[in-house]
Amino acid sequence: MRIAQVAPLAESVPPKLYGGTERVVAWLIDELVNLGHEVTLFASGDSKTSAQLHAVWPRALRLGRPRTDPMVATAALLEAVARHATEFDVIHTHIDWLHLPLLSRLGAPFLTTCHGRMDLPGFSDVVRRFPDAPFVSISDNQRRPLNEANWLGTVYHGLPNDLFRPSFEPGSYLAFLGRLTAEKGPEAAIRIARAVKMPLRIAAKVPRGERNYFKEKLEPQIDGAQVQLTGEVNDETKRQFLAGAAALLFPIDWPEPFGLVMIEAMACGTPVIAFNSGSVPEVIDNGLTGFVVPGEAEAIQAIGRLSELDRRQVRRHFEKRFTAARMAQDYVRHYEALSKLNEGEAHAGYRPALSKNPVPDRLPAK
């Protein structure tokens, strides 16, 4: 198939440091190319890809200098996609809602993966304006606020099987990896680590808009001994960071759409202790790859049960559920269905008659 992948311009594909969406897009592209598909990536010019790169802006916006108005760069991205839309069997976008007015009118088959939360004000209004636009969720929980959207199904993220070498030795510290924002739970992670008297290592970026939060709430607790901040990590330093941990703490306080760091830890053989919110019970198999807990007290108790978990089993379960090869195969099934349906439809505005997989009122606890 001829497949277009449309990436955000904030980071390169893959990103130099932080950037979960762009990293997933890179892994997906590599697997699609391995499967023999002809893939074109619309992204920043500093991207490195096995696909054909259509560079729509010289450098990724977050690290680029001088700074660029993101709307200017996005306009260039949409123009490039529109100009070449008829060249593809399917267009897969990862830029939230921005392309919907354009691609809904061009008649080219497309689907959208949103990588963020879906419960923010205004999202339902957008969905109602584009009732036929096909979406794929990255967890069942992600689409719960917008169950009226045209969901084709859920495709869980996956990463390359050989990206991280697992460690089967018990780790010596607790790990926290992610953005240093209140909703990610870094304060809870610090309290948990102090309660069990274990070192906590934090590998994270400080978002520009969260510097006051970091200065006021976190920096005073980072003593360089029990609580250490290592900053952002790349793939190799991330592997070392996760593989050496006794467990990854994931004490989130928001409806996490997926939580890529959970499967990165699992790929290293490292179990995850996570609060029961968002996608967590879909990703973590309680008692097998980690523990899903309601709060801090239960997380403290779970740390005392880490010896019950087999790190080899954690790794095997990652290989079973969360590889990039599986992710690509799942997406190809949706691409093929959309392409075939489009060939059989003579009119625009079709609504694919695929499995809708409605979200239940309550997701099963694991």
- pLDDT at position 345 is 61
Provide DSSP, 287-355: TTTEEEESSHHHHHHHHTTGGGS-HHHHHHHHHHH-BHHHHHHHHHHHHHHHHHHHHT--SSS----S-
Residue 107 token pair: 């008649």
Encode burial over 12-51: b for 16+ CB neighbours within 10 A, e otherwise. bbbbeebbbbbbbbbbbbbbbbeeebebbbbbbebbebeb
> How far apart are the C-alpha atoms of 53 and 38, rounded to whole Å?
11
Residue 66 token pair: 């001088």
Residue 10 has pLDDT above 80, yes or no: yes
Q: What confidence tens digit (pLDDT) does each residue in 280-335 have?
A: 999 999 999 999 999 999 999 999 999 999 999 999 999 999 999 999 999 999 99
- pLDDT at position 232 is 82
Residue 270 has pLDDT above 70, yes or no: yes
- Is pLDDT larger for residue 146 or for residue 67? 146
- pLDDT at position 350 is 43
User: Does the predicted model carry a pTM greater than 0.75?
Assistant: yes
Residue 351 has pLDDT above 70, yes or no: no
* Mean pLDDT score across all residues of the chain: 92
Residue 70 has pLDDT above 70, yes or no: yes
Question: Which residues, 6+ apart, have CB-to-CB distance to 314 below 8 Å?
Answer: 166, 266, 269, 270, 271, 288, 289, 290
- pLDDT at position 106 is 93
User: Secondary structure of 237-306 in the HEC alphabet?
Assistant: HHHHHHHCEEEEEECCCCCCCCCHHHHHHHHCCCCEEEECCCCHHHHCCECCCEEEECCHHHHHHHHCCH
- pLDDT at position 208 is 78
- pLDDT at position 353 is 40
Average pLDDT for residues 156-184, to the nearest whole number?
A: 95
Nearest Cα neighbor of 78 from 93, 58, 62, 61 is 93
Encode burial over 167-181: b for 16+ CB neighbours within 10 A, e otherwise. beeebebbbbbbebb
Residue 349 has pLDDT above 80, yes or no: no
List the single range of 204-208, 305-309, 344-348 with lowest mean pLDDT. 344-348
> How far apart are the C-alpha atoms of 322 and 324, rounded to whole Å?
7
Task: Name the percent of the chain lying above pLDDT 70.
Answer: 94
Task: Name the percent of the chain lying above pLDDT 90.
Answer: 83
Torsion angle in degrees (nearest 10) through CA of 265, 266, 267, 268: 60
Average pLDDT for residues 329-357, to the nearest whole number?
A: 70
Site of tokens 């460690």: 167
- pLDDT at position 347 is 39
Average pLDDT for residues 167-193, to the nearest whole number?
A: 96
- pLDDT at position 17 is 73
Residue 179 has pLDDT above 70, yes or no: yes
- pLDDT at position 298 is 98
Look at residue 44 and give its three-state secondary structure.
strand
